[in-house]
Amino acid sequence: MVRLITHNMLTCHVKNCTKDNFPLVFENVELEVRPAEANLDFIKRFIPKLEWDALVQTARSIGEDSLPEQMPEDKATLESEEFLQKLHHVLMEIHVEEGQMKCRGCGHIYPISTGIPNMLLAEHEVGR
Amino acid sequence: MSRPEEIAPPEIFYGDIEAKKYTANTRIQNIQSEMTDRALELLALGDDEAKFLLDIGCGSGLSGEILDEDGHYWVGVDVSPSMLEVAVEREVEGDLFLQDIGQGFGFRPGTFDGAISISVLQWLLNADSAAHSPAQRITRFFTTLHGCLRNPSRAVFQFYPSSDDQVHMLTTCAQRAGFGGGVVVDYPNSTKKRKMYLCLMVGHQEVPSGLTEGGMEVDDGSSSKVKNEKRRKARAMASKKMKGKKALGSVDKDWILKKKELYRQRKGVEQVPRDSKFTGRKRKTRF
Ligand SMILES: C[S@@+](CC[C@H](N)C(=O)[O-])C[C@H]1O[C@@H](n2cnc3c(N)ncnc32)[C@H](O)[C@@H]1O
Ligand SMILES: [Zn+2]
């Protein structure tokens, strides 16, 4: 399973691919939504690690548009239970089961099958 | 008996049959979970907060399950499709990736609060092809791992080296990649219970440079220690094979290895005592 929390941390790791290597673009995806117990404290602590634009863009690309375009600026909204719940749902409950992730930089395709992305590279794509 | 890593590449060795056999074996289950407990302890996460962790060579999820037990979130990478398939069947909580760690990672800087790796690193010490030397692959692995760990944080590897040279190579590559740290040996005098852990640290200011000793000690008084202690006891009771009244008291080997290497480089190998099973007895873990 690929959750958006993990996808948001993932860049292309092909040799010399440093431009437009994030976020990887989902294509032809099949999703599964699985309810998960929420740890809102964890979510709150994770917010600073998120690339917000990439998250919103990616979520929208797979039909999930509950997140605001801009990350809420005031702390009260950001740390409200309502907002954190929403974030929990997007980050932790949506699983990409099938499809692929494509790098906008080098075009490399990482296929996803039974929820597992194949990150293996060909010999000439491995960095030093 | 040959070591598994000398028989075939990991994705071949851990094929469908071996992956199922491995995972169903209760003796293996017990050992892997005990070593994962110990690795978590050495990770010294400090508080009871849930963390975002990386399980390197996660296999079928025997190690990851221990992370679940503690409420952590994790990402697992493994090169064997069969092992990952078993992990999916067993519905582990972590996000799984089919990945050869020798090719490196693409996770963003600071992604993980820590990393564990249980019984995996020895696989990287064998050449997988003529094109790549183990040192190259290990360097790529350590460099990209260092890049995706938070500062400060740790990566703890339980592994089975077959020689001191291998340990030397690992610590040298780790240092070059920017890590501090060293090797910890539990029960160095017991053939059965002896276990090695490579403990790598990111960005700790007090890491000694070269010959001076100092730096920080592993925080063994952490709450995870207490938790682990309980879990160990529970497992010990459950396991009929374990004989009673064995104290845990572990003995650690530390940065001594590195210091010896430095001495070797400076004075020539002969003048430095060879690493023996007595190296590092009765000393605190220092980094
Ligand atoms: C003994 S199993 C341990 C699995 C798990 N950590 C546990 O404790 O049960 C070793 C695992 O390392 C994996 N492995 C070996 N070489 C690897 C590599 N280059 N990249 C990723 N995984 C690797 C194998 O596929 C196998 O699943
Ligand atoms: Zn790319």
Q: What is the pTM of this model?
A: 0.84
Q: pLDDT at position B238, please?
A: 54
Instruction: Report CA Rg, chain B.
Output: 18
Residues of chain A with pLDDT under 70: none
Q: Given CA atoms B160, B81, B136, B76 in this order, what sign does their dihedral have?
A: negative
Indicate the DSSP class of residue B71: T
DSSP, collapsed to helix, strand or coil, labels residue A118 as strand
Q: Given CA atoms B195, B201, B204, B210 in this order, what sign does their dihedral have?
A: positive
Q: Is B2 left (phi over 0), alpha (psi -120 to 50) or beta?
A: beta
Q: Distance from the CA of B279 to the center of ligand 1, in angstroms?
A: 29
Chain B from 69 to 128: CB within 8 A of any A CB: 71, 73, 75, 77, 79, 81, 84-85, 88, 95-100, 103-108, 110-111
- Contact call for residues B97 and B91 (beta carbons, < 8 A): no
With a 6 Å cutoff on the Cβ, whether B86 touches ligand 1 is: no
Q: Which residues touch B244 (CB under 8 Å, ≥6 apart)?
A: none
Q: What HEC string does B198-230 produce? A: EEEEECCCCCCCCCCCCCCECCCCCHHHHHHHH
Please enumerate, as own/partner, the contacts of B106-109 that have beta carbons within 8 Å and a separation of 24 or more: B106/A10, B106/A11, B106/A12, B106/A13, B106/A21, B106/A119, B106/B144, B107/A9, B107/A10, B107/A11, B107/B54, B107/B75, B107/B144, B107/B147, B107/B148, B108/A9, B108/A10, B108/A11, B108/A22, B108/A51, B108/B148, B109/B147, B109/B148
Residue A88 sits at φ, ψ, to 5 deg, of -55, -45
Residue in A with minimal Cα distance to B74:
A6
Q: Which residues touch A4 (CB under 8 Å, ≥6 apart)?
A: A55, A58, A59, A90, A91, A94
Residues of chain B with pLDDT under 50: 205-224, 239-287
Cα separation, B186 vs B245, in Å, equals: 18
Cα separation, A95 vs A104, in Å, equals: 22
Provide the residue ranges of all domains of chain A, joining segments of one domain with +.
Answer: 2-117
For residues A87-99, one letter each, b for 16 or more C-beta atoms within 10 angstroms of the residue's C-beta and e for the rest, the string is: bbbbbbbbbbeeb
Residue in A21, A120, A127 closest to B140 by CB: A127
- Contact call for residues A8 and A53 (beta carbons, < 8 A): no
Each residue of B163-194: pLDDT tens digit? 999 999 999 999 999 999 999 999 988 888 89
DSSP, collapsed to helix, strand or coil, labels residue B157 as strand
With a 6 Å cutoff on the Cβ, whether B118 touches ligand 1 is: yes
Q: pLDDT at position B48, please?
A: 87
Residue in B95, B110, B136 closest to A49 by CB: B110
Ligand 1 pocket: which of B120, B124, B126, B139 to mutate (most atoms <8 Å of CB)? B120
Q: pLDDT at position B203, please?
A: 84
Which CATH code is given to the segment(s) A2-117? 2.20.25.10
Indicate the DSSP class of residue B72: -
Q: Which helix (H) or strand (E) holds A97?
A: strand A94-102
Q: pLDDT at position B46, please?
A: 81
With a 6 Å cutoff on the Cβ, whether B56 touches ligand 1 is: no
DSSP, collapsed to helix, strand or coil, labels residue B16 as helix
Residue B166 sits at φ, ψ, to 5 deg, of -65, -45
Q: pLDDT at position B163, please?
A: 93
Spell out the alpha helix ranges (H) of chain B: 4-7, 10-13, 16-24, 26-43, 62-69, 81-89, 121-124, 134-148, 164-176, 223-238, 256-267
